[in-house]
Structure 1
């Protein structure tokens, strides 16, 4: 039998620097009304590659303060070698992801796109002062009971080895026909409360300043109301980072987090955890975020 030829590798575009986010967000907003999402549509096959990436340590320290990580975590390295928080490579890859998702060949509208989950695998601790290669690409489109979902993969390499990788899913809501409803989620007993956090109204602006994600829904009540929210909401990735700062993460670990409901700002939430599992709950026990950390 003649073997089936391997599919051609996705073309790689090497970037000289990380793209500026503001023009990409503006482009995505302008193109959004012209996009008609559907699960069987095509998506960009390009892999964006940013070689020789070095972390801005001042920006990293600001991120650590906003998210509650200890500044200059020495985990896994000799004295004087700081480690990146487990969520920080997502911030490094976000401009590349936005370049792909704001482009005309990305089928989902950027406006209204909802980050529904993230899966992270950190193969080993990553030095804050190292030089890395970053790769981002769109992996797939899939039907969802509420619309169409896209998966975006981010990979961080050190000397050719993948040391950190993630898979984020983003949902474009639209009317669907003939898609089966998702089965009921497993009912779990609420995790025991650990801490209560009072969140200030400026959390979205502070996280936007250190991450570059200045989506209007996170910045001010007035801009959030334009998109149907009564107040500004916290970034999903801030809620994950804040929980992991409290929970702790082994040097080599798998992290999953599912975003279930927005966190309104200002507000009060309860961080709960047991073993490797954690969650963030609001008033009346409403679950905003569930997650799990497993060593590998």
Structure 2
């Protein structure tokens, strides 16, 4: 295996400039499932107290909590994800990639004042009937100890040349509990301000239509954060694993329901559905790590 090419940063790269680069980036035209051995490192970083508080308010966390929201380390890592995908050796165009799933594992609460190291690397890639899926792995460490990890899976869509089998029919799950949320048209812009993720598909109906969407859509990681805010408090020491699959986009504005089970030894399962219950936008589980 080739030695990893490592990019090291003392401050987080600016996401506005990254999106300008992403609009013109076309990848290197490789259409196989081999990724270059790239990693990016951000050292000696502390979360900004005001930024964390603003993020918490948008995503439904307690803004006065002493620890970081479960999903906040993704915000620290996101500029590094972009640098990996904007590297000249990365094979796929950034615009048009679809974030299809994300798993976060946190070993303990992370204090707001901790000095952290953020390491992101390209993981495994595999061919599917929809295209090529690939992983971005994130490790957050404090004092040399890894305390938070995530695996974000993205899809580079390709036309299928093989025949597809019949689509599996999934029986609708029933849940003991439900919360209803009203999402404003401005939600994507609110989340963009606190996350740095200013992808045009999330901002306005017109900018979303330029990329093939009928209206702008909520960020998948906002949905994950809002779910974490509703459910993760049951793990009082912060040690938990939150797995989410992003199934269907949430077009804004919207009314959605978070449906979730009782807690048991295996954790809790949940689905984020539209108000009529006919469509599942997000599906997942929160539990103790194995």
Within the candidate set 261, 265, 280, 2:272 is matched to: 280
Q: 1:129 to 1:226 in 2, by over 3 A?
A: same
Alignment of 1:106-145 (within 5 A): 106-145=90-129
The CA distance in 2 between the partners of 1:258 and 1:182, in whole Å, is: 21
Alignment of 1:1-296 (within 5 A): 7=1, 9-32=3-26, 35-36=28-29, 38-40=31-33, 42-73=34-65, 82-178=66-162, 184=168, 186-249=170-233, 250=235, 251-275=238-262, 276-285=268-277, 286-296=279-289
Deviations 1:133-160 (A, max 9, x none): 1001111221122111110001100111
The CA distance in 1 between the partners of 2:166 and 2:2, in whole Å, is: 34
The CA distance in 1 between the partners of 2:97 and 2:117, in whole Å, is: 27
Q: How many angstroms does 1:178 deviate by?
A: 3.7
SS of the residue aligned with 2:175? coil
Q: How many angstroms does 1:180 deviate by?
A: 6.3
Q: How many angstroms does 1:192 deviate by?
A: 4.0
CA-atom RMSD in angstroms: 1.9
Q: How many angstroms does 1:15 deviate by?
A: 1.2
8 Å CA contact 1:193, 1:270 repeated in 2 = no
SS of the residue aligned with 2:25? helix
Deviations 1:35-74 (A, max 9, x none): 545343x42312211110110110100000000001122x
The CA distance in 2 between the partners of 1:104 and 1:11, in whole Å, is: 12
Gaps of 5+ in 2: 263-267
The CA distance in 2 between the partners of 1:19 and 1:181, in whole Å, is: 43
The CA distance in 2 between the partners of 1:294 and 1:186, in whole Å, is: 22
SS of the residue aligned with 1:112? coil
Q: 1:181 to 1:69 in 2, by over 3 A?
A: farther
Q: 1:185 to 1:247 in 2, by over 3 A?
A: farther
- Taking structure 1 as the reference length, the TM-score comes to 0.89
- Taking structure 2 as the reference length, the TM-score comes to 0.91
How many residues are treated as equivalent by the alignment?
A: 280
The CA distance in 1 between the partners of 2:161 and 2:78, in whole Å, is: 32
Greater Cα offset, 83-92 or 43-52: 43-52
Structure 1 runs (4+) greater than 4 angstroms displaced: 179-183
SS of the residue aligned with 1:133? strand
SS of the residue aligned with 1:239? helix
